[in-house]
Each structure stands twice: as structure tokens, then as C-alpha cells.
Amino acid sequence: MAMAVFRREGRRLLPSIAARPIAAIRSPLSSDQEEGLLGVRSISTQVVRNRMKSVKNIQKITKAMKMVAASKLRAVQGRAENSRGLWQPFTALLGDNPSIDVKKSVVVTLSSDKGLCGGINSTVVKVSRALYKLNSGPEKDVKFVIVGEKAKAIMFRDSKNDISLSVTELNKNPLNYAQVSVLADDILKNVEFDALRIVYNKFHSVVAFLPTVATVLSPEIIEKESEVGGKLGELDSYEIEGGETKGEILQNLAEFQFSCVMFNAVLENACSEMGARMSAMDSSSRNAGEMLDRLTLTYNRTRQASITTELIEIISGASALEAAK
């Protein structure tokens, strides 16, 4: 009898650690009955244990994702670095004119299909929107070509009327030039442009990505610019072999430049995606570890408190019996 009294007393002393705080609001009699029915003697650690298990599982998943991203990054990094040699001669010949003022701009936004890769998709979207604002105006037209599921989802919210093409599932097979050139060909055939502005994340290191804009001009604009002089003025000093005209050469060059720049941009972006995913997963597994530590501490404290309560119960019960003798 004395034991039962003390048990109830002990329960009332520890209402803050109770696993079910609602029980404290209910009348003490009914809650006692309920707990008596369930056979719960002390504070339940079940909830904390379940939580710990799920955090541990999440940590396992994020660790695995980090490993996968690291191995994919290694595969794509070399290719991305090698592909830089493709656009460099074009920039040397035609220059890069990010500030050129033209009537029809097309912003090609490159993003990833999958999430959980930090802020790389939102940065390209931000840069694309800034380009849209910079280049729009009276008698000027800006359209978007969106590569990747994530940027499509973000752009759909506020600039869906300006999207002219969207491309997804590019990353299913390992990226290759044939694939990107078919894509570039499709883009060239389906949009009218004076300048194509390709927005992507340039891979710098595993933790650093620079949002970058590469500009590809249409042949007519290149010709116009080279007549005016300036950066493209030196183009006339080149000799043209064979029977082709300058216009033909420039058209071929502009098309090939676009596919080469796209190839590099797609690779750089894939590389940045993997790097960003790696660091994001690294920090989330670290966070999960910290959370697990905190939960373990709570769990152990609760366990200890219940052990202490039990000891007190036994000792005071024994001493009560001693006193009754």
C-alpha cells in the first residue's frame, strides 16, 4: 500500500518529463487508471528511442548520398576541366560580350534535375532573372530556355509566360558531346535570337561555384559588331580560305560555338551540382550526428531519472516497512 502511494507521489513529482504531457491535463484519477491499464510504471523512453533510430537512418542515407556524389564528381570533374579547351579558342576569336545590347535575347538557364544540392539552382535562377531585367525594355524581347527540372519549377511560378523551351532528363546517361550537340541544335532551331546568354555554375572547387554567363551572338550581330569596330573589329583581318563568304563562315562558327559552349556549361554545371550535393550532404550528416548526440543525452538522463525514482521507491518502501516493525 505504501509503495503505491509513493509511486503515485513520484509520478506527480516528475510531470515535466512525462512522455505524454496531455495525461497531466486530464484528471489524475483517469490518467492513473489509463497508465495502470497499459502497465506503464515509469517514464517511457520509447519516443526518444524511435526518434534516435530515425535520425540514425537519415544520417546513414545522407552519408551514402555524399559518397555517391563524391564518386560521380570525380568522374565528371576531369571531363569538365578538359572541355574548357573547347570554348577558349572561340572566346579568343569572337570575344565574350556579356554587355551587348540586342533586341532578342534568349537566356539559357542550366540547372539540375534533382534537388538536395545546396543553392546552385537558386543562384542560376537569380542570375537569369537579373539578366531578364537588364535586357528587357521597349521593343526588346527576352525568352527563357530552361534545362533541368529544378529551375523549371522555380521559373514556372513567376515567369512562365517567357519560357519558350524546357529540357529535362539530360543527366540520365553520362554526358557526351553528341547529346549536347543534338540539344543545341534543337534550341537553335526552335528559338529566334540575337544573343544567347547561357547561365550556369562554373566549377571552381568542391565548395566554390561561380554563377557564370556565357554569351553567344548570332552571325548577323557578329557581322554588325565587327563593322562598327571595337572588340570584334579585328575579325576582318582574318583571311577566308575557299569559296565561302564571311556570312557563311560566321554562321557555322556561331552554331559550333553554341554547341561547344553548351557542352562545357552542361558539364561544369553537373560538376558543380555534384560538389554542392557533396558539401550539403556532408553538413547534413554532421547535423544529424549533433542531433543524435543531443537525443542520446536526453535519453540517458531520462533513463537515469527513472532508475533513481525506482531506487527511491524501493528504499523508502523498505524503510517504511522497517518503521512499521
Residue numbers at the binding site for another protein (CB under 8 A): 160-161, 163-170, 172-174, 176-179, 181-186, 188-190, 242-244, 248, 251-252, 255-256, 258-259
CB closer to another protein out of 81 and 162: 162
CB closer to another protein out of 174 and 233: 174
Rounded CA-CA distance 206/257 in Å is 27
Shortest CB 197 distance to another protein, Å: 18
Shortest CB 72 distance to another protein, Å: 17
Q: Which amino acid is at 134?
A: L
Q: C-alpha angle with apex 90: 89 to 95, nearest 5 degrees?
A: 115
CB closer to another protein out of 172 and 325: 172
Shortest CB 283 distance to another protein, Å: 31
CB closer to another protein out of 177 and 299: 177
Rounded CA-CA distance 183/170 in Å is 9
Residue from 123, 126, 283, 116 nearest 210 by CA = 123
Rounded CA-CA distance 122/136 in Å is 21
CB closer to another protein out of 48 and 184: 184
CB closer to another protein out of 84 and 160: 160
Q: What is the DSSP string of 61-128?
A: HHHHHHHHHHHHHHHHHHHHHHHHHHHHHHHHHH---TT---SEEEEEEE--SS--STTHHHHHHHHH
Rounded CA-CA distance 211/305 in Å is 54
CB closer to another protein out of 239 and 322: 239
C-alpha cell of residue 88: 577558349
Residue from 267, 212, 266 nearest 82 by CA = 267
Rounded CA-CA distance 278/117 in Å is 8
Place of cell 520509447: 46
CB closer to another protein out of 142 and 288: 142
Shortest CB 160 distance to another protein, Å: 4
Q: Which residues pair with 216 in a beta bridge?
A: 196
Shortest CB 253 distance to another protein, Å: 8
Shortest CB 121 distance to another protein, Å: 18
Shortest CB 85 distance to another protein, Å: 17
Place of cell 537566356: 107
CB closer to another protein out of 107 and 281: 107
Q: C-alpha angle with apex 182: 91 to 90, nearest 5 degrees?
A: 10
Shortest CB 117 distance to another protein, Å: 19
Shortest CB 135 distance to another protein, Å: 19
CA dihedral 184, 185, 189, 193 (to 10 degrees): 40
Rounded CA-CA distance 103/105 in Å is 6
